[in-house]
């Protein structure tokens, strides 16, 4: 894929009229040439020494042949239209970009802190529950202690004591709301999710033993 990038600095008095023309006339006309598949218009977030407001408009095209055909068949007409309307009111320069690699990631939703002290610190368990490895840091949960009782004789649980001397060392992770619901399913009825404050001051969720599991 190739990108035809046009960077334009437009004088402020002409800005509003130019912006409307770009959005509703010029960019649709560029796409109507049949040479481009997509157009992105971005404002450059910087103050220009020369004044004015700067934008970058990026037109995507499938191949360099499409771009060559645009130069041959449409470029002069499209440029003359802008000059006719805003001559002397803008400065423009153009560059060609070749897309080498495109990487993306699904943006995670709202996040919560999750304090863990047992199996959820294991990479393989995280992969099974969340389909990814979590990123975390050590922290301490005060006023709780690890119970002598274990779920199914193997899995640790903590209980709330409110005693200053009691504390549980663990790792706090950042998870999405959806992942928090997955944790509910993983922990099951043997655990209850509770809000707590860590030694670091972070508000978190922690799973303690359910009343019947104390």
Q: Would you say how long the chain is, in residues? A: 214
Q: Which residues of 5-39 are buried (b: 16+ CB within 10 A; e: fewer)?
A: ebbbbbbeebeeebeebbeeebbeebeebebbeeb
Which tokens hold the place of 61?
């095209």
> Within the chain, which residue ranges are assigned CATH 3.30.70.100?
2-98
Maximum distance among all alpha carbons in the chain?
Answer: 83
- Taking domain 111-213, whether its CATH number is 3.10.490.10 is answered by yes
Provide CATH 3.10.490.10 ranges for the chain: 111-213
What pLDDT does residue 209 have? Answer: 87
Give the whole-angstrom CA distance, residue 139 versus residue 206.
Answer: 12
Residues 6+ apart with CB under 8 A from 127: 133
In 3-state terms, what secondary structure has residue 118?
Answer: coil
Q: How many CB atoms lie within 10 A of CB 184?
A: 15
Cβ(61)–Cβ(36) below 8 Å = yes
Confidence at residue 214, expressed as pLDDT on a 0 to 100 scale: 45
**DSSP code at position 165:** T
Q: What is the CATH number of domain 2-98?
A: 3.30.70.100
pLDDT score recorded for residue 102: 82
What pLDDT tens digit does each residue of the chain (214 aa) get? 999 999 999 999 999 999 999 999 999 999 999 999 999 999 999 877 778 999 999 999 999 999 999 999 999 999 999 999 999 999 999 999 999 988 876 555 578 999 999 999 999 999 999 999 999 999 999 999 999 888 888 889 999 999 989 999 999 999 999 999 999 999 999 999 999 999 999 999 999 988 754 4
Strand partners, 31: none
Identify the pLDDT of residue 106.
57
pLDDT at res. 109: 58
């Amino acid at each position: 894929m190739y990108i035809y990038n046009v960077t334009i600095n437009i004088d402020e008095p002409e800005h509003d009229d130019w912006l409307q023309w770009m959005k509703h006339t010029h960019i649709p006309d560029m796409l109507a040439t049949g040479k481009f598949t997509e157009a992105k218009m971005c404002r450059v977030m910087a103050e220009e020494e020369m004044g004015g407001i700067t934008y970058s408009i990026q037109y995507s095209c499938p191949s360099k042949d499409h771009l060559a055909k645009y130069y041959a068949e449409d470029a002069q007409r499209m440029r003359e239209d802008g000059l006719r309307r805003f001559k002397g009111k803008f400065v423009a320069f153009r560059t060609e970009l070749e897309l080498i690699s495109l990487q993306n990631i699904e943006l995670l939703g709202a996040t919560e802190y999750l304090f863990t002290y047992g199996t959820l610190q294991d990479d393989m368990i995280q992969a099974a529950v969340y389909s990814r490895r979590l990123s975390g840091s050590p922290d301490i949960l005060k006023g709780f202690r690890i119970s002598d009782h274990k779920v199914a004789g193997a899995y640790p649980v903590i209980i709330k004591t409110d005693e200053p001397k009691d504390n549980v060392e663990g790792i706090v992770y950042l998870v999405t709301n959806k992942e928090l619901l997955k944790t509910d399913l993983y922990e099951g009825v043997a655990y209850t999710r509770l809000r707590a404050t860590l030694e670091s001051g972070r508000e978190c969720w922690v799973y303690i033993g359910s009343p019947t599991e104390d």
